[in-house]
Chain A
Amino acid sequence: MPAEAMAPPAAETKTIPITVEFSGGLELLFKNQRTYKLSVPDVDPSTNAATTVGYLVKHLAADVMVDARKELFVVEGSVRPGILVLINDADWELEGEEEYVLQPGDAVLFVSTLHGG
């Protein structure tokens, strides 16, 4: 049997290129790196549905974040209260929050409140 036939259909291996940015001190939890260019699968393996921002948050906490202080980024599987999530510069509460389906080229920004003055 030719090797090509063994390969899974191309559609299942598609990834979505996105940009993730941390600010307001959150970058300290991510090796002090502000911007990450990531490729995420277009289908969430745990749900078999299109990949959402909710998946991205879990992926960041589990696979990208090396800092032990996970609770400063996620609480009970969701973004810690007090962190704003902006999808293409709009509050994710205007975009469906965790249910928002990621699109190629999306920019997801995580902002923690600043208090200095």
Chain B
Amino acid sequence: MSGPDRIPPHLADETASLRARIAELEAELTYHRAAASPPPSTLDLTREEYLRYSRQLLLPQIGLPGQTALKRSRVLIVGIGGLGSPAALYLAGAGIGTLGLIDHDVVETSNLHRQVLHRTSTIGLPKVLSAAKALRDLNPHVQITTYAEAFTPGNAEDVIAQWDVVLDCTDHPKLRYLISDACVLLGKPLVSASALKLEGQLIVLNDPPGKGPCYRCIWPRPPPPESIISCGEGGVLGPVVGAMGVMQALETIKLITRPKGKELTQPRMLFFSAAAETMWRTLKMRGRREGCVACGQQGIKNLGSEEEYALFCGVPNAFALEEEYRLSVRQARELVLLGTKPLLVDVRDRTQFGICKVPGSVNVPFERFLAVGEGLPEEIVGLLQEERRDVVVLCRLGNDSQVAAKRLLESGVHGRVWDVRGGIREWARIAPEDGIVEY
């Protein structure tokens, strides 16, 4: 047991721990050199990006040329709702260089079932900010430009001029014509989609710019304004509008990464119908219309005014019932619950009537009034024949009820006729205890 033979135990321990520390520091250094420093000139992407995009880089249709094309590209999404949300998610995920988001709306509770970028925690925030937050979290490599404003003839050209590809994810024909016109003027391809209820449509327009048809070539005239139904009126299933938005992202990626000269010559519309036997169909569409007022030989030189676009698409005839035939919810309630017990006719559709109803009300959908043209639907005639009863007409917002009440007045109903201002929505605010909800 002599001194020199004995190795002090702390030396071994200390050496081992220092070795471990060196390894740790070396690993950290390697990581920082690889990930944080700008890529060496021989690399097109950062090392982190090669990994991030690995599964699409492996595709022969993408590869490094496709990925760098995506990284160089600038894509504008107009409308960050049911279509814009999934489109933006997949485009950000795929590594688009710069994404532009334009929308003037704020996030609402009724958006969340389908607008998958937004969160319960972002209700009340401008949609573009809610979206930018989620997209940066998904992929910090993507530059995001937000426009928290409406897309109008006033800013359309300035905005669109800065982008390579435009996605129409809006919800009204007047915006669809405006976006298409601006894309024609500025020579940008347009990936246009729409969805309602259980159906969706998608078409790539002005592609290649100056050759492919524009929105006006396909739809020269807007539908009659009274037939324009929004998601807020007609409803829409989340996966339906989501599928269309995902397809927009797909078409955009294809458009950006395709080799030159590989443009489609035959325009096609992708048509989706969740209820049909064949859910997905590809429809063969006409090409550019020579006489098209936007992209035809004459062509447009500048955009119209906001009023011109609104006028072109029309506004439904706003019908106003005379004030003497209109009741407040309070007045209607008193009459129905305590007063002369009039016949309460709810003209919402059967589905909405099934969501909530005023006790004792009967349902005659407004659609039935429209379908018979003049006079009254037979089911309401039957109800009125029973006795001389007063009638109170109720709908969701207090618009259709005015038209239906007018029809009853003109049809010589014996009793008195009123409608209810503000409809079911107002009823839910005034008297939620009746079991009426806002939806």
Q: Which of A38-46, A49-57, A89-97 contacts B (4 or more CB under 8 A)?
A: A89-97
Q: Is the pair B220, A81 in contact by a Cβ cutoff of 8 Å?
A: yes
Q: Which of A8-16, A98-106, A109-117 contacts B (4 or more CB under 8 A)?
A: A109-117
| Among candidates A35, A72, A82, A89, residue contacting B282 with C-beta atoms closer than 8 Å | A89
A19 CA / B219 CA spacing, docked (Å): 24
Q: Which of B54-62, B152-160, B365-373 contacts A (4 or more CB under 8 A)?
A: B365-373
A86 CA / B284 CA spacing, docked (Å): 8
A67 CA / B368 CA spacing, docked (Å): 9
| Among candidates B220, B241, B367, B373, residue contacting A116 with C-beta atoms closer than 8 Å | B241
Question: Is A34 an interface residue when CB atoms closer than 8 A count as contact?
Answer: yes
CB distance from B213 to the nearest CB of A (A): 10
A23 CA / B84 CA spacing, docked (Å): 23
If A66-B371, A68-B370 touch, whether A113 touches B285 (CB-CB below 8 Å) is no
Q: Is the pair B241, A117 in contact by a Cβ cutoff of 8 Å?
A: yes
Question: Is B172 an interface residue when CB atoms closer than 8 A count as contact?
Answer: yes
Q: Which of A58-83 contact B (CB under 8 A)?
A: 66-69, 71-72, 80-82
Q: How large is the interface on A (under 10, 10 to 19, 20 to 34, 35 or more residues)?
A: 20 to 34
In the assembled complex, which residues on chain A have CB atoms less than 8 Å from the CB atom of B19? none
If A114-B196, A117-B83 touch, whether A82 touches B221 (CB-CB below 8 Å) is yes
Question: Is B261 an interface residue when CB atoms closer than 8 A count as contact?
Answer: no
In the assembled complex, which residues on chain A have CB atoms less than 8 Å from the CB atom of B325? none
In the assembled complex, which residues on chain A have CB atoms less than 8 Å from the CB atom of B370? 67-69
A51 CA / B241 CA spacing, docked (Å): 38
Question: Is B276 an interface residue when CB atoms closer than 8 A count as contact?
Answer: yes
- Across the two chains, which residue of chain B brings its CB closest to A69? B370
Question: Is B229 an interface residue when CB atoms closer than 8 A count as contact?
Answer: yes
Q: Which of B368-400 contact A (CB under 8 A)?
A: 370-374
| Among candidates A68, A94, A116, residue contacting B236 with C-beta atoms closer than 8 Å | A116
In the assembled complex, which residues on chain B have CB atoms less than 8 Å from the CB atom of A24? 196, 199, 201
Q: Is the pair A72, B172 in contact by a Cβ cutoff of 8 Å?
A: no
If A68-B371, A68-B372, A69-B370 touch, whether A116 touches B234 (CB-CB below 8 Å) is yes
In the assembled complex, which residues on chain A have CB atoms less than 8 Å from the CB atom of B284? 89-91, 94
A67 CA / B373 CA spacing, docked (Å): 8
Q: Is the pair B283, A114 in contact by a Cβ cutoff of 8 Å?
A: no
CB distance from B292 to the nearest CB of A (A): 13
- Across the two chains, which residue of chain B brings its CB closest to A90? B284
Number of residues on chain B facing chain A (CB within 8 A): 52
- Across the two chains, which residue of chain A brings its CB closest to B196? A116
In the assembled complex, which residues on chain A have CB atoms less than 8 Å from the CB atom of B224? 71-72, 80, 82
Question: Is B402 an interface residue when CB atoms closer than 8 A count as contact?
Answer: no
Q: Is the pair A114, B194 in contact by a Cβ cutoff of 8 Å?
A: yes
| Among candidates A21, A93, A114, residue contacting B276 with C-beta atoms closer than 8 Å | A21
- Across the two chains, which residue of chain A brings its CB closest to B313? A115
CB distance from B180 to the nearest CB of A (A): 12
A17 CA / B241 CA spacing, docked (Å): 34
In the assembled complex, which residues on chain B have CB atoms less than 8 Å from the CB atom of A69? 370-371, 373
| Among candidates B176, B281, B282, B285, residue contacting A115 with C-beta atoms closer than 8 Å | B176
Q: Is the pair B275, A82 in contact by a Cβ cutoff of 8 Å?
A: no
In the assembled complex, which residues on chain B have CB atoms less than 8 Å from the CB atom of A80? 224
- Across the two chains, which residue of chain A brings its CB closest to B277? A35
In the assembled complex, which residues on chain A have CB atoms less than 8 Å from the CB atom of B82? 116-117
- Across the two chains, which residue of chain B brings its CB closest to A24? B199
Q: Is the pair A113, B223 in contact by a Cβ cutoff of 8 Å?
A: yes
If A89-B284, A116-B195 touch, whether A111 touches B241 (CB-CB below 8 Å) is no
If A25-B229, A112-B227 touch, whether A34 touches B84 (CB-CB below 8 Å) is no
Q: Is the pair A72, B83 in contact by a Cβ cutoff of 8 Å?
A: no
A21 CA / B283 CA spacing, docked (Å): 14
Q: 1/0 per residue B278-294: CB within 8 Å of A? A: 00011111100000000
In the assembled complex, which residues on chain A have CB atoms less than 8 Å from the CB atom of B195? 114, 116-117
Q: Is the pair A115, B199 in contact by a Cβ cutoff of 8 Å?
A: no
In the assembled complex, which residues on chain A have CB atoms less than 8 Å from the CB atom of B371? 66-69
Q: Is the pair A94, B196 in contact by a Cβ cutoff of 8 Å?
A: no
A88 CA / B281 CA spacing, docked (Å): 11
Q: A68-B373, A116-B194 are in contact. List 17 more A-B contacts (CB 8 A).
A: A23-B276, A72-B227, A84-B219, A91-B286, A112-B227, A113-B222, A113-B223, A114-B196, A115-B171, A115-B176, A116-B196, A116-B197, A116-B234, A117-B82, A117-B84, A117-B194, A117-B241
Can you list 22 contacts pairing A with B, beta carbon distance less than 8 Å?
A21-B276, A25-B234, A28-B367, A68-B370, A69-B370, A71-B224, A81-B221, A84-B218, A84-B283, A91-B284, A93-B286, A111-B271, A111-B283, A113-B219, A114-B196, A114-B200, A114-B201, A115-B170, A115-B196, A115-B228, A117-B83, A117-B195
The 4 A-B residue pairs with the shortest CB-CB distance in the complex, in nearest-first order? A68-B373, A116-B196, A81-B221, A90-B284
